[in-house]
Amino acid sequence: MSQTHPLTTTTFDLPGYRVVKSFGMVRGIIVRSRSIIGNIGASIQSLFGGNISLYTSLCERARDDAFRQMLAHAGELGANAVVGVRYDATEIGNGITEVLCYGTAVFVEAAP
């Protein structure tokens, strides 16, 4: 489901590479709502306890979309890597959630 990029990291360095230029912060923002059908299905799943896979899937898709938007933003600036990647989520209304993925866009070269 979720994909990653080989030159992204939650740390501020990439082993084997050196940062030669920083482009600043980049981000991807997704706002998603739960459908009435999804809420009904999740309510049924919650009766049995455990993982509510409908919500897990929705959250995973939102994070993946935000991540891809962040990578696109970095690419538009000329970056080939993003360091310090983080996620944040905020409920902005009943059943409406914002997912933010952000980091620092950089250009890296292989370390000598």
| 8 Å CB contact between 106 and 83 | yes
What pLDDT does residue 39 have? 53
Helix ranges (DSSP H) in 5-92: 36-47, 53-77
Q: Comparing C-alpha atoms, which of 64, 52, 57 is closest to residue 3?
A: 64
Distance CA 11, CA 83 (A): 6
| Coil vs helix vs strand at 93 | strand
Half-sphere exposure of 75 (CA within 13 A, CB side): 9
* Domains delineated in the chain: 17-110 (3.30.110.70)
28-62 confidence digits (pLDDT tens) = 999 987 655 555 555 565 556 556 566 677 788 99
**CA 109 → CA 36, 38, 48, distances in Å?**
48, 45, 51
Q: How confident is the model at residue 74 (pLDDT cuts 50, 70, 90)?
A: very high
The identity of residue 79, as a single letter, is: A
Q: pTM of the entire structure?
A: 0.81
84-101 confidence digits (pLDDT tens) = 999 999 988 877 889 999
Distance CA 5, CA 71 (A): 8
